[in-house]
Structure 1
């Protein structure tokens, strides 16, 4: 995507060409753009681009990356063995996701991260986005009915309550429910998957929950612990840790000091993105940043332990930018004096507390990770799609050419999925629908049933042989409809048979959609099968 760097007069410019990414559908298929073999070249080109970054960014990179390596090494070593962590000018490749039980296509990105780092002599760091709002504390598990053996879904919970708050605030409420999650998932999968990966995963999860108590933390550490058993050599760090760093404070203050201009770049870029994609809603892909009086909405979230639900950050600048007020317009308000001086960065960093947790929103999170922390960032399909908007914002606000990113996803299906082909069932359903339509409009096609008098068939044949001219077909059409009705009424038993076949095919279609879904959580799959599938996809081409 070619960008007009540094421009804020966005709607007057030609629209950029955005890349489209589509999820692979077949088992063992992958999406990797650009190809893995180009990763080393992308890293080198991105490092060259970084040399031309404005001073406010380039001056941050060395300290920010050194701190990232220290913090990621310290965090990861709390629950798995970590070798020596480079502290010099190491190449860094990153990826990131929410701490949840995602589908195999997302997990494949972690294997690709390890692969790219190994192939390019880089350090691999996965960012755990724990400021996102946690969803339901459960997964839907394919299961067989004890009544008739049909496949459906069973909801299996690992906790109760706390949904709707950021992952870093989601304390586990029911330890017994959490500790027995793997057993209940395995029971629900009986007859479908005999050795689901949730069993080895949850051994790590029970250890992790004792360390941290938070569901998101435990899920991420359990997955990362399992990855260590599989030989992946990556580090991890929560976004909440990154947002407490001094380097991030400096990055955030560059945005907040110049927030009115950031608004123009952000909202103008979002408007261009909507125009290019034909999106009418101002809420998608992200809402525009707002102003209320002399308060400016900032691209950050604010929350704390006593009131953990996320609220927007608002900033008011006064005295020519010397005084900065930061608030959630509710219970939290902090003031920074001499905000226009670089020394105010430390004052901003010191605001962090259990009741004042300021976290970046998604586009700023990846902006910081891509421009400051890493040499190559691996996105999934959703991130790759929407971070093209982030590239527009970065180009306009920082006056630079954004670094190249890599977009990765894959599809892995359940064992036995090949025995439940949706295409075969769709073809059978289409043929059955045609036969049901024939019962109404061409019932003579069922003459072999022996139920239709020859007289009715001959009358219809005669009608069709003498179609009146236009404007004179009313009586003719009435006669044709009546003949079809009379013949159809004699074929009720065939209609009943077709209805029964249709219901059976619809049940098979629903079953096939479950067998062939790529959205099942990775923890229900056999671990060895997933590992083999990922390995083969990483070595294609």
Structure 2
């Protein structure tokens, strides 16, 4: 269904990517639902459809209305990511379905800072507002509580930085929702509450599910039970992706699952509070499976306990204080196979799920369900600072160009003409030596030194030219930096004017409901 050649970041401000085109979304949903209506062939997976129904029922989805699933980390997401939520809610409204948003709290944050672009004097700068300290390897779900004082500081500082743009932005709505939890909320709850407050104001209906609360232990049990088989299929699919996409390097786009003797890595994280998350390994021991966090054996469990329903596996984890969490690939695999009628990816996830598809086919024995891809580019209306240089200055020579070719930029006069002539003669001599006496290193070196000496003397005579080039280089660098800040599409979506996000939502909704037959807008 996906045309991967079209999965590129929308370029223009306000541009959208909906792939495949909305005209085919109902077809995708119906085809996926029909594929999972009955059990797939093969005795080993005869209860597959029942497992899918149990998973959905555990979350309260007992009817056959379409379930659209999206997901993202609880971070300051940009408008292109938020567009997935808008599209999911719009499509659910159009097809009579519902939306489940997976809050990916098992990931490790890059930074919990809110980045705000600001105009300061004649330049545009960036201010990072810290909300919560980050510890290496600690996932979102184990970050500390966000205090009321910290949130108040962020509100006050952001209001100051945005100035007149604060009231018209979505920040008041977001922070109003975020602060309602008070001092008892963790980072994930605070960020989710703020986002949901904005979604409600925009008329978007989504239900959140934190990854820590997934009803997915049956899936975990099957992967552990068949860990050797899964690792082989995973690495084969990854190798095929690298080959077809021309990807070099053993860890791109994700690492292989490794073997350490008789220990085989499985695609999960093992976590507990205050400890960096660890890779998970499994080892078969006759009728039991050992679970290992890097080098530490946590427990073993009877093979019989890994067949559905895996209640014992869930209890054992609860007793040890450890938790098992999916990696990105296994999260979308589980969601697409056992939960969603339609899964909506961003561009990166859509591309990388080409690795997931053959694993689904080989491991579960079913055709991988089709998915959608949604993205958008929305840029903040950052005003021009007073006296700022233009975005595109005329080309100027660099200091390097001036040093090696001063004759191109220094006009001859009474002082400079002798040096220009001496330099030209030295260049001619160097060219002659290169052809006539290529092995005469001493003579060629002497000619080079004469060229360099004449150039340095020319620049010493014309410091004004050097100063002008330095100033032009600095101006161009400032223009490039300002342009990069202004064109960045990854600022927090709530920093945007509410009117722009509302316009984006109306546009996406109209395209989906009209079943537009193109995907780039």
SS of the aligned residue for 1:297 comes to strand
Does the 8 Å CA contact 2:170/2:198 hold for their aligned counterparts? no
Residue in 2 aligned with 1:156?
Answer: 129
Does the 8 Å CA contact 2:90/2:508 hold for their aligned counterparts? no
2:282 to 303, 309, 315: 315
SS of the aligned residue for 1:116 comes to helix
Q: How far is the alpha carbon of 1:316 from its aligned partner?
A: 3.0
SS of the aligned residue for 2:329 comes to helix
1:491 equivalent in alignment to 2:462: yes
Residue in 1 aligned with 2:98?
Answer: 123
Q: Assess, with a 3 A threshold, how the Cα gap between structure 1 residues 451 and 231 changes in structure 2: closer, same or farther.
A: farther
Residue in 1 aligned with 2:396?
Answer: 432
CA distance in 1, matches of 2:219, 2:13: 42
CA distance in 2, matches of 1:418, 1:28: 20
Deviations 1:297-354 (A, max 9, x none): 222222234x5432233333333xx4333343537324236336546x2322333427
SS of the aligned residue for 1:302 comes to strand
CA distance in 1, matches of 2:202, 2:408: 64
CA distance in 2, matches of 1:435, 1:426: 19
1:132 equivalent in alignment to 2:123: no
1:220 equivalent in alignment to 2:199: no
Q: Assess, with a 3 A threshold, how the Cα gap between structure 1 residues 192 and 87 changes in structure 2: closer, same or farther.
A: same
2:243 to 257, 272, 275: 275
SS of the aligned residue for 1:310 comes to strand
Q: Assess, with a 3 A threshold, how the Cα gap between structure 1 residues 186 and 348 changes in structure 2: closer, same or farther.
A: same
CA distance in 2, matches of 1:510, 1:66: 52
1:94 to 57, 66, 69: 69
2:324 to 358, 366, 389: 358
SS of the aligned residue for 1:180 comes to helix
Superposition TM-score, scaled by structure 1 size: 0.80
CA distance in 2, matches of 1:442, 1:375: 67
Residue in 1 aligned with 2:159?
Answer: 186
Residue in 1 aligned with 2:476?
Answer: 505
2:145 to 172, 180, 184: 172
Decide which moves more: 348-357 or 255-264: 348-357
Residue in 2 aligned with 1:44?
Answer: 30
Unaligned segments of structure 1, at least 5 residues: 3-16, 71-85
Residue in 2 aligned with 1:518?
Answer: 489
Residue in 1 aligned with 2:290?
Answer: 325
Does the 8 Å CA contact 2:76/2:493 hold for their aligned counterparts? yes
Q: Assess, with a 3 A threshold, how the Cα gap between structure 1 residues 490 and 204 changes in structure 2: closer, same or farther.
A: same
Q: How far is the alpha carbon of 1:450 from its aligned partner?
A: 6.6
Does the 8 Å CA contact 2:416/2:461 hold for their aligned counterparts? no
Residue in 2 aligned with 1:65?
Answer: 56
Q: Assess, with a 3 A threshold, how the Cα gap between structure 1 residues 463 and 138 changes in structure 2: closer, same or farther.
A: closer
Residue in 2 aligned with 1:530?
Answer: 501
CA RMSD after TM alignment: 3.6
Residue in 2 aligned with 1:206?
Answer: 179
Does the 8 Å CA contact 1:324/1:339 hold for their aligned counterparts? no
Residue in 2 aligned with 1:81?
Answer: none
Deviations 1:281-308 (A, max 9, x none): 3222222223334433222222234x54
Does the 8 Å CA contact 1:336/1:347 hold for their aligned counterparts? no
SS of the aligned residue for 2:397 comes to helix
Q: How far is the alpha carbon of 1:57 from its aligned partner?
A: 2.5
Q: Assess, with a 3 A threshold, how the Cα gap between structure 1 residues 97 and 469 changes in structure 2: closer, same or farther.
A: same
1:443 to 395, 401, 407: 407
Does the 8 Å CA contact 2:426/2:448 hold for their aligned counterparts? no
Q: Assess, with a 3 A threshold, how the Cα gap between structure 1 residues 510 and 97 changes in structure 2: closer, same or farther.
A: same
Unaligned segments of structure 2, at least 5 residues: 438-443, 517-521
CA distance in 1, matches of 2:189, 2:260: 36
Q: How far is the alpha carbon of 1:25 from its aligned partner?
A: 2.9
Q: Assess, with a 3 A threshold, how the Cα gap between structure 1 residues 279 and 458 changes in structure 2: closer, same or farther.
A: closer
Deviations 1:123-156 (A, max 9, x none): 11111111112343322222344xx442222221
2:10 to 2, 24, 27: 24
Residue in 1 aligned with 2:441?
Answer: none
Does the 8 Å CA contact 1:443/1:488 hold for their aligned counterparts? no
Q: How far is the alpha carbon of 1:201 from its aligned partner?
A: 0.6
Does the 8 Å CA contact 2:106/2:139 hold for their aligned counterparts? yes
Q: Assess, with a 3 A threshold, how the Cα gap between structure 1 residues 489 and 46 changes in structure 2: closer, same or farther.
A: same
2:205 to 233, 237, 258: 233
SS of the aligned residue for 1:189 comes to helix
Q: How far is the alpha carbon of 1:32 from its aligned partner?
A: 2.1
Does the 8 Å CA contact 1:92/1:125 hold for their aligned counterparts? yes
Q: Assess, with a 3 A threshold, how the Cα gap between structure 1 residues 200 and 260 changes in structure 2: closer, same or farther.
A: same
